[in-house]
Structure 1
Amino acid sequence: MIRAVAAALLLTTAATAQEAPPGAFSESRALPGLTAPGEIIIDRAGIPHIYAANARDGFFLQGYAVARDRLWQIDLWRKRGLGRLSASFGAQFIAQDRAARLLLYRGEMAAEWAAYPSQAKGWTEAFAAGINAYVADVEAGRAPLPIEFSATNTRPERWQADDVVRIRSNALASNLTSEVVRARALCGGDLKYELLRRELAPAHTVSIPKGLDPCSIPADVLDDYALGTGDVRFDGQKIVVASLDPDIQEGSNNWVIGAGKSATGRPILANDPHRAHAVPNLRYLSHIDTPELKIAGSGEPALPGISFGHNENVAWAITIFAIDQQDLVVNPKATKLTEVRERIEVKGEPPREVVLKFTDDGPIIHEDPTSGRSFALRATWTKPGASAYFNASWAWTAKTWDDFLVARDHWGAPPLNLLFANRAGDIGWAPGGFVPVRAAGDGLLPVPAGKVHRWTGLLDAKLMPVKHNPADGWIATANEMNIPAGYPHMLGLEWADRSRITRISEVVGSKPKFGLTDAMALQNDPTSPMARRAVALLQGLAGRDANERGALALLGNWNGHEGPDSAAAALYEIWAARHLAASAVKAIVPEAARRNFGRTSIGNILPVLEDGKLLGPDSAALRAEILLGSLGLAFAETARLLGPDPATWRWGALHRADFQPSLPIAGRDAERRVGPVPIGGSGSTPMAMGTGPDFRVVSGASVRVVMDVGAWDNSMAINTPGQSGDPASPHYRDLFARWATGNYVPFVWSRPRVLQEAERIINVTPGR
């Protein structure tokens, strides 16, 4: 069979020159480790379409293609995750290496691989071998060494399959950071003000676990956790836990439209995961076509296959589903800790020995020398089968809803809303992820060590809620609380606000038929229901000075559309990010309780202002004071930033996409920078564009995919700024302008269409 397929591939390769566009460039490579001839066809958007004689070769060539585009990025990912930064970059990374090693999977590898499909280890070995084949080309001078390696005087390392699944620190998980912030706030604080800090859903009253002193949680308890999960910083600045900042908004949107509501007569499945932006970004589009496996979609470049996308029959999409998969466990003084000693290689210096400490609950992420207490991270990612996104491998061969539920049953991390559609017209929602069953408590605060607050196991995945072929013909998720009423099991209480799902539901629900162009427009919709809620609270108020009157005039009839040219959006975002929440906390929370209160955001403040119960007996007057006072301050600040005339204000003057690599290289930074460009949207719009403290875009959808289920050639996608991490490549920034303006490129599937889009054809044969 393999010989027949190889012969067919040779014939196909010979005919490629006639089938491909006249401008397509062709080259040949002999690759040791490949078993039969194949092709990597790079399309005009830089997306590799891989044709191989068998699935093993398909993953080998995917590894080779990824390394060709993203070698520095994936090499750094591996070194960071395994705790090998010091070996390349020196002693300043010893602490980060030690922290990363605390978070590795340390169970039996046989049990880990047994949690995935039987072919998964072989596929991953092939993927790693493909990366290593490209590294060998670099070492032999057949391929260029990326400039980052030259700038740091380092070299890429070789991969093993176990490296991919042992690294756990790339999984989004919750809610360790919010446990710590909540405990710190309750040290001298009052439970009744918790609503101002974080809205819980379903509605829930916070209680302090028996035996926990909130004041026992040190301010620096998460320093090692931040190091172990954080990006590599070459500027010497301290790594902090990004999710402690309520203005950092990472999430995702997805929706599936059933055939009856679809303008195509087939299901439409759309996905735009939101993560921190970078250059190159976190996602990579690819397509593998082999006799036994055909998949196309997006994933993280250091992982084989795809995280979401489609095969011949089924498409699936993902968003974070906020299962609480973590607890901080407080150990009393003199708790017996297990020690593991490891050697860290250090560039230019002798190796260092570090001590890693563990309890049965998990790694010790902090020891407090003053009190003698230690703090363990209890997390589901220590269990077999919790490698991030790796259980998508169960979906690669799915054909039916029941097949897809097998993927749901195995899903470990991160916890996800899994949306499904197939060519038969089925659609569905099946959230997945390991759910800890707590003997007591709700997971909202750290817990004392011991049996009372132990985990008794994991929830049977078959008890998770599902939705299959709903009567209204569509399903959408946007990280909101979407657990059905009356569901009996505790999954989590901390969700994203409902702004994005509110707008998505408005748009989808308003259209009798919903098409591919509608899906692309909705992924780029800059309308904020959050802003509309805030503006609604201003109705009937009268300004007391020029700033307040000017602000009310600008926002009074505004519809929440946050385009880059919007003056109202600029004022609203400055008000929401810098003034409204701070003013509300100052007015409502007594001074003594504000010491450790921390920051909050407008999404938590608005429900309190709308409800009024926490505002006291004269709630209307206090609400008006909070709104008007903060709005006047915001108007004055906007004038300082954008000039005295509101007619000239533009949201895009502050809100810009400007991507810069994390590694500065003298004399090369200008060519590696992508941007800046003005851009609309915000963290509360479907076109999610989370902002940093200076209003620069820091997170959102790097990749967007819209799939026409069954007519796969009609699918569309965009990645930003490009597929390649090499600034000399035409695909380093070529998609940035399209992404910023809401445009897409074809994400084709059939070989004829792939050849029509071909820019470069790499013919590969086995080498020695």
Structure 2
Amino acid sequence: MTDAAVPERCRPRARRLFGLGLGVLVLSVLLGGLSVLRLRRGPRAAAGDLEMPGLSAPVEIVRDSLGIPQIWAASVEDAFFAQGLVHASDRLWQMEQLRRVARGELSEVYGETALDSDRFLRTLGMARAAERAVRELCAECRRRIDAYAAGVNAAVARWQGPLPPEFVVLRIEPSTWTAADVLAIEKIMAWDLADYDIGLLLADAQRRGGQALLDTLLPRYPADGATILEDAPSAPARAAVRVSAGAPEVPSSPLDERVLASGRVPELARALLDGASALRGSNSWVVAGARTRSGKPLLANDMHLNLSVPALWYLVGLHAPGLDVVGMSIPGSPGVVAGHSGAVAWGFTNAMVDDADFFIERPDPTDPNRYLTPGGSEPFQDHTEEIRVRGSDRPIPLRVRATRHGPVMSDVEARAGQDLLALRWAGHDPSPSAEAIFAMNTARTAAEFVRALEGFHDPHQNVVFADTAGTIGYWMAGRIPLRRSGRPPLLPVPGWTDDNEWVGDLPFDQHPHVLDPARGFIVTANNLPAHGPVSALISDGHFEGSYRARRITELLDTAYALDAPAVARMQMDLVSLFARAHQHSAADAYRQAGEVARADSLGAWDGSMAADRREPLLLYTWLEVVRFRVARELYGGAPGYFPMSVLDRMLAAGRVSPATTTSAVKEALANAGASRWGEAHPLHLDHPLQGVRVVGKTLGFGHEPIPIGGDGYTVNLADHSGRFPPFIVRHGPSQRHVVDLGDLDGAGGFILPGGESGFPRGPHAFDQLPAWLSGGLVPLPMRRERAEARGASRTRLVPG
């Protein structure tokens, strides 16, 4: 149940755009004499000694039976070189795709189909921001990133046999990896598509339905909703700006429709950014040793992203003097993003920080090359880029303009004679986040870890952590911009005044945080940090509801003598407090419609969203019909933005008419199309080339749909889209990990919804999926003897 607009955007169409005109290319593969089986499975893992120029000393790589590498090196730089090599060996196409997304170079591969997306991505300027960030790197950080990039390029240089099948099918060569490419991936992760969308969607609602409709849609966190700092004191806001009280201010006059339309995100760019941008839903919790069997803290984390093939994350262990860390890494970037260092464990959830504002810029009526500011008109910053398009000899020129606030996003769809939309985004600024990741990877105490977090500017994260000494903690990491107006704006704001300018950042010691709370655990699930002024500085109100946080808290409240298996079972919990909140409204509607047996079933239900249950299907088919009908009522008969969170509020307040809820039953039953939730709620693990004629099936891209339970509010999240079944699930736990600080090598572990390999039918493409579906975890031992005991293959890199 997505919070997207009604009707939902055409995501399947965006995915199909990849396939236009590519199906016949399989003939070139087959006629070229390449083995389809070899393309599907990839090259065999190298074994023995491999000469590698650029190393200072030999490096040992031990892979377990799932292909997960553990790397032992004589220096940190050599360890990162080897990490670049294994990333490229297993995920080269994924890295190439991410690089092209950041740089806006999709048209070179996909042709004119991708041209609008490249215009958007070039205008957004992630690659330009990454180039600027490279110049700000400290010397040590630059050496480490360069070593990683050298490892990527070494893997390509010594590649034997056909490249990954995507390169062969698309007939392209891998790009040379650079430090800027590493930092560009950081920018993709920092990008929050929902934050970009919401202001424009609300502005459109105000234009179409006036202030009354806008007031209905404004985000409101429940007064009794669970907060992260429950029962814990929070740092006072001492920022040098006024903190506005009450609801965020909104402009009284609606914006022009053309201005709003010009800021749209092209569908292909949307689909690609959805797959790797900031985590809109995640769970993490940490439990003090007083509540655990081992007497040491337990930490759990599952980060929610769009699920695809291959998985976003890559499991790895890195070991060198001063560096011992295991956990999740991102192909294309060195280090471990979340995991443990043998002394400190940590996990992330999205902090929901509003770090992107739209400014309405007014061109100078006397000179179109200038725009208005409080001090008079100023010239646009202006440059031209060239977009190369497959099948064309001539590159397409793109004029990119920027104001003092940032790039003019409305130039993507040029519409003469109107106001413009410029984007102020924290991700455009240089960030020491890469350096912070390295420091987090080497932290030996909670205090060292917190010092490392201070440099972690983006993406904004709620970070839970624990150390072997027994400390548990939470700190909101990331740069939190302060506005002169006192809080983030909900809608686009005038750029010709200084009323909404960014005037600094909230000091790190004033970020929401807590150490060793009295209740003995900390829960974060994208919910409000705390009621009070600091939260008003962080966001315009778009925190997730507290259903997941409340359920995790319920499970922990009475739990003692916890161990890693018990915590892993909590991660798989399928009780939806959202379903419990609305099951009786649904039961009443079914009863009024004469469906007594179904009403009785809903009324007696415990809220379990298990795949074999019928009640979730009865609830959600009804909810989606009600949502669609209420949206049409509010928008005067037309569809429009109306997230499930607003319907949640309206149903709870009794603001949906009985006529609407009762009449929805007949339509819901007519479109149910299945008898059990799992049948109507399949998980799709799609590959970008899965829909290409002949190629997708021949080479085995993607995975068959899998019936699963859950919903967007269960701890084991399985968020769906669609007005009627099948409700397609593409959003859920992109990984899970559980760390017992009392038994780092023998308890807990990690898991991905797929595997380490990006080759579509390689032995490690989906070998972790069964455990991910059932709640299993894979050990990632820190001690070498344990890792060696699990080793299935060994490779030794020697200086060349």
> Which stretch shifts more, 212-221 or 451-460?
212-221
Distance change >3 Å, CA 243–CA 498, structure 1 → 2? farther
Question: What's 1:520 paired with?
Answer: 568
Q: Decide which of 188, 193, 201 is 1:181's aligned counterpart.
A: 201
Aligned to 1:607, which of 649, 666, 685?
649
Segments of structure 2 that go 5 or more residues without pairing to the other structure are 1-44, 224-245, 365-370, 372-378
AA aligned opposite 1:189: G
Whether 1:169 and 2:195 are equivalent positions in the alignment is no
Aligned-partner SS, 2:221: coil
Question: Is the 8 Å Cα contact of residues 281 and 304 (structure 2) preserved in structure 1?
Answer: yes
Matched, 1:686 2:698: no
Corresponding letter in the other structure for 2:659: E
**Does the 8 A contact of 1:183 with 1:217 survive in 2?**
no
Flag the 1:486–1:362 CA change in 2: closer, same or farther, 3 A.
closer
Select which of 270, 281, 292 maps to 1:262: 292
Aligned counterpart for 2:118 among listed residues 74, 97, 105: 97
Secondary structure at 1:60's aligned position in 2?
A: helix
Aligned residues: 706
Q: Retained in 1: the 8 A contact 2:632–2:638?
A: no
Partner of 2:166: 148
Identity within the alignment, %: 28
CA offset digits 1:196-236 (Å, max 9, x no partner): 435323775354236x533356452333576656518xxxx
Q: Is the contact between residue 52 and residue 799 of structure 2 (CA under 8 Å) also seen in structure 1? A: yes
Aligned partners of 1:107 and 1:383 also within 8 Å: no
CA shift digits 1:269-302 (9 cap, x unpaired): 1111000011001111111011121111112212
Q: Aligned partners of 1:351 and 1:632: how far apart in 2?
A: 55
Structure 2 residue corresponding to 1:199, chosen from 201, 209, 219: 219
**Which residue of the other structure, out of 139, 144, 155, is the alignment partner of 1:134?**
155
Aligned 8 A contact 2:593 2:665 in 1: no
| 1:122 aligns with one of 133, 143, 160 | 143
- Secondary structure of the residue that 2:789 maps to in structure 1? helix
Deviation at 1:243, TM superposition (A): 13
TM-score (norm 2): 0.83
Alpha-carbon deviation of 1:746?
1.7
What residue in structure 2 maps to residue 712 of structure 1? Answer: 744
- Separation in 1, partners of 2:543, 2:326: 30
Residue of structure 1 equivalent to 2:768: 735
- Structure 1 unaligned spans of 5+: 1-23, 233-240, 616-621, 643-648
Q: Please report how far the alpha carbon of residue 161 of structure 1 lies from its aligned counterpart in structure 2 after TM superposition.
A: 0.9
Taking the aligned partners of 1:424 and 1:533, their CA distance within structure 2 comes to 41
Q: Secondary structure at the match of 2:527?
A: coil
Shift of 1:351: 3.1
Pairs within 5 Å for 1:214-613:
214-216=255-257, 218-224=259-265, 230-231=271-272, 250-334=280-364, 335=371, 336-347=379-390, 349-367=393-411, 369-385=415-431, 391-440=436-485, 442-449=488-495, 450-485=497-532, 487=534, 490-492=537-539, 493-537=541-585, 543-546=591-594, 548-576=595-623, 578-585=624-631, 589=634, 592=636, 595=638, 597-601=640-644, 603-612=645-654
Rate the CA distance shift 1:249–1:435 in 2: closer, same or farther, 3 A.
closer
> How far 1:426 moved relative to its partner?
0.3
Letter in 2 for 1:51: W
Change (3 A) 1:468 1:217: farther
Shift in CA distance, 390/637, structure 1 to aligned 2, threshold 3 Å: farther
Separation of aligned partners in 1, 2:748 and 2:49: 29
Q: Tell me: CA distance 1:227–1:121, structure 2 relative to 1, closer, same or farther (3 Å).
A: farther
RMSD: 2.8
One-letter identity of the residue aligned with 1:221: S
Residue pair 1:169, 1:228 contacting (<8 A) in 2 also: no
Per-residue Cα deviation, 1:414-462 (whole angstroms, up to 9, x for no partner): 2110111001000000001211111125411110112122111222222
Contact 2:484 2:503 in 1 (8 A): yes
The worse-fitting range, judged by mean Cα deviation, of 700-709 and 199-208 is 199-208
| Cα deviation, residue 110, structure 1 | 9.4
The residue type paired with residue 353 of structure 1 is P
Q: Deviations over 1:613-654 (max 9, x none)?
A: xx3xxxxxx65434333344323322xx12xxxxxx211111
CA distance in 2, matches of 1:515, 1:218: 55
Hey, what's the Cα distance between the residues in 1 that align with 2:276 and 2:441?
31
Report the Cα offset of residue 117 of structure 1. Answer: 6.3
For residues 681 and 171 of structure 1, the distance between their equivalents in structure 2, rounded to whole angstroms, comes to: 27
Rounded to whole Å, the distance in 2 between the matches of 1:249 and 1:527 is 22
- SS of the residue corresponding to residue 749 of structure 1 reads coil
Measure, in 2, the Cα distance between the counterparts of 1:305 and 1:396: 7
Give the TM-score taking structure 1 as reference length: 0.86
2:333 counterpart SS class = coil
Number of the residue aligned with 1:50: 71
CA distance in 2, matches of 1:107, 1:384: 10
1:155 and 1:596, CA in 2 relative to 1: closer, same or farther beyond 3 A? same
**Paired residues of 2:401 and 2:407 also in contact (CA < 8 A):** yes
Contact 1:308 / 1:392 at 8 angstroms: preserved in 2? Answer: no
Asked if structure 2 preserves the Cα contact closer than 8 Å seen for 1:249 and 1:683, the reply is: no
Residues 1:502 and 1:488: Cα distance change in structure 2 (over 3 Å): closer
**Which letter does structure 2 place at the counterpart of 1:680?**
G
2: CA distance between counterparts of 1:659 and 1:747? 25
Distance 1:206 1:158, change over 3 A: same
Shift of 1:539: 6.7
Spell out, residue by residue over 1:315-341, the C-alpha distance to the aligned partner (whole angstroms, 9 max, x if none). Answer: 111000111101111111332422111
CA 1:710 to 1:124, structure 2 compared with 1: closer, same or farther past 3 Å? farther
Q: Aligned with 2:394: secondary structure? A: strand
Compared with structure 1, are the counterparts of its residues 514 and 453 closer, same or farther at alpha carbon in structure 2 (3 Å cutoff)?
Answer: same
